[in-house]
Amino acid sequence: MKRIFVNEEWCLGCHLCEYNCAFANSGMKNMALALKGKKIFPKIHVYGNDKINFAVSCRHCEDPLCVKACISGALHIKDGRVCIDKTKCVGCYSCIMVCPYGSLSVGETGVASKCELCLDNACGSPACVKGCPNNAIVYEER
Amino acid sequence: MKQYVIIGNGIAAAGCIEGIRKTDNDTPITVISGEKYPVYCRPLISYYLQGKTALEKMDYRNKTFYADNGCNVIYGKTAEKIDPEDHTVLLSDGKNIPYTKLLVAAGSSPFVPHFDGIETVEKKFSFMTLDDTLSLEKAICKNSKVLIIGAGLIGLKCAEGLKDRVGKITVCDLAKNVLSSILDDDTAPAVQAHLEQNGIEFFMSDSVKSFDGNVALMQSGKQVDFDVLVTAVGVRPNTALISGIGGEVNRGIVVDTKMQTSVPDIYAAGDCSEGYDLSVDKNRVLALLPNAYMGGFTAGVNMAGGNKEFDNAIPMNSIGFMEIHIMTAGNYIAEKDGGTVFCKKTENDIRKFFVKEDELKGYILVGNVLGGGIYTYLIREKIPISTLDFENLQNDPNFFAFSEEIRRKKFGGVV
């Protein structure tokens, strides 16, 4: 299965991935309308300082702890991907409590929010990777 | 004929079914379900009262779960007795079910202490099952005055669920602190104050001495008027099936890291079991949903002839009350026991860390809980904190505090 991998030596810390993620998941056609002046809720986050940066999103683990810890049955595995049924999530954040990568975040409505590799939105493959100017994140089989 | 039998139909049972099917796709599984529902998410009962979820959203797995996994579920019957020689389970209807390997996932029962005059209270409930919840829901109206005995996780979740549906909620507890199983003196008062601001009344270090109809006389001499009583004092593991046949039982059914009991071919998992707790390096009852799933899954793999151990269970809770969030895990080792305690308080946030012998042993976060899983990971994997920028990590849990080599491994390969 293709997953997102990080090449931190190439990451500029530009945060474009965060904007592309928020746009791809907004369901809107115009990026400016979707994001301008709004608080964004990306599913990928760039960490680091002025020298080292790296972008973290869901690792789509082969044996995901978040799915085991989910109290509502919202998190599940779909063809190898870890997906979330937002209508079932109640925002207890047990997933955040067990994710060893700090990958999950909280979405606009207060329920948990996570990367689903853009396979269920109009983008069709990870928008963060498509928009990365320096191949600091890649989408491939490893 | 070879057959797996599971006593109980909760989260540990679901984990067991999925664990068995990792290894064995053919052998039939029989599930004995006392409740008349497919496996549902018990921790959601308060969210149901609150209107944050609906009955049809509370199923733990999809509608075809049992069929897809070759399970026959017997609803509305309980297991009365196990015959370990014959390898059979006697059901409440007198039927005997043969097993090759058996999982006891019988859960726990609410502990209801005796109060003088309790028989004069007309509307009284526990808060554990869906049926408890539906009965409680029928008994309340928007003017109800609810008295909840117990300021633990169950009592306070019940308070949150009822808050906008009743007139008044009073909570009492013999303990000094709310949530005394997961919070301490530094953190509990902030949470209690937040709940008080949301209209919950507390009588702490106090409990009911006696009841007279709709009046509770407290040990302190105060009186509380109420219409509806909820007792949420605690739960007791259901161990009788194993103690009844001479199997090893302490507070819970004792299991090893493969989830096997002292009785051959019988496993146990979930709230009824007492397994290895890494945070205290001994067996303990850890009645928590994630551990129920992981224990059940481990049991399932082993029942089917696989080889799996569950050797890194720790207590851990992530829970919110009226917009304040709490995340805790591990063992709160005090300074007097050789621990080093780091505590950072800001206006909306408390972060507390317990370190001993170069390892993070426990943490309490109140407020911002993002990235808390990285702390849980440090505890469960016993990562030496001298290899990390721990100062930075306390404020900002992310992998910047780890070495480049670890980051390359974690984010550059399949995990």
For CA atoms A47, A53, A58, A63, the dihedral sign is negative
Rounded to two decimals, what is the model's pTM? 0.96
What angle separates helix B11-23 from helix B289-303, to the nearest 10 degrees? 30
CB of B125 closer than 8 Å to CB of B149: no
What is the rounded distance in angstroms from the CA atom of residue B188 to the CA atom of residue B139? 31
Q: What does the pLDDT look like over B102-128, one tens digit per residue? A: 999 999 999 999 999 999 999 999 999
Domains of chain B, residue spans: 4-109+236-303, 118-233, 329-412
| Residues in Cβ contact with B269 at an 8 Å cutoff, skipping those fewer than 6 apart | B12, B15, B16, B103, B104, B105, B255, B259, B275, B292, B295, B296, B298, B299
pLDDT range class, residue B1, cuts 50, 70, 90: confident
Name the CATH topology of A1-57+116-142. Alpha-Beta Plaits (3.30.70)
Residue B290 has pLDDT above 90, yes or no: yes
Phi, psi values for residue A13, rounded to 5°: 75, 30
Rounded to the nearest angstrom, the minimum Cα separation between B253 and chain A is 22
Q: What are the b/e assignments for A75-101, b being 16+ CB within 10 Å?
A: bbeeeebbbbeeebbbbbbbbbbbbbb
Chain A residue with Cα closest to B58: A72
pLDDT of B348: 87
A90–chain B Cβ distance below 8 A for any pair: yes
CB of B372 closer than 8 Å to CB of B365: yes
pLDDT of B203: 98
Q: B351 is written with which tokens?
A: 């972060």
What is the rounded distance in angstroms from the CA atom of residue A84 to the CA atom of residue A73? 9
Fold match between B4-109+236-303 and B118-233? yes
Chain B residue with Cα closest to A80: B414
Which residues in chain A have their CB less than 8 angstroms from residue B300's CB? Answer: none
Counting one residue from chain A and one from chain B, the pairs whose CB atoms sit within 8 A come to 125
CB-nearest to A5 from B289, B374, B411 is: B411
Q: A21 is written with which tokens?
A: 């993620």
Mean pLDDT across B255-273: 98
Tell me, what's the ipTM? 0.97
B45–chain A Cβ distance below 8 A for any pair: no
Average pLDDT of every residue of chain B: 97
Chain A residue with Cα closest to B48: A90
Among the listed residues B337, B330, B377, the one whose alpha carbon sits nearest the alpha carbon of residue B357 = B337
Name the CATH topology of B329-412. Enolase-like; domain 1 (3.30.390)
B4-109+236-303 maps to CATH 1.20.1730.10? no
- As its CATH architecture, domain A61-114 has 2-Layer Sandwich (3.30)
B118-233 maps to CATH 3.50.50.60? yes
pLDDT of B62: 94
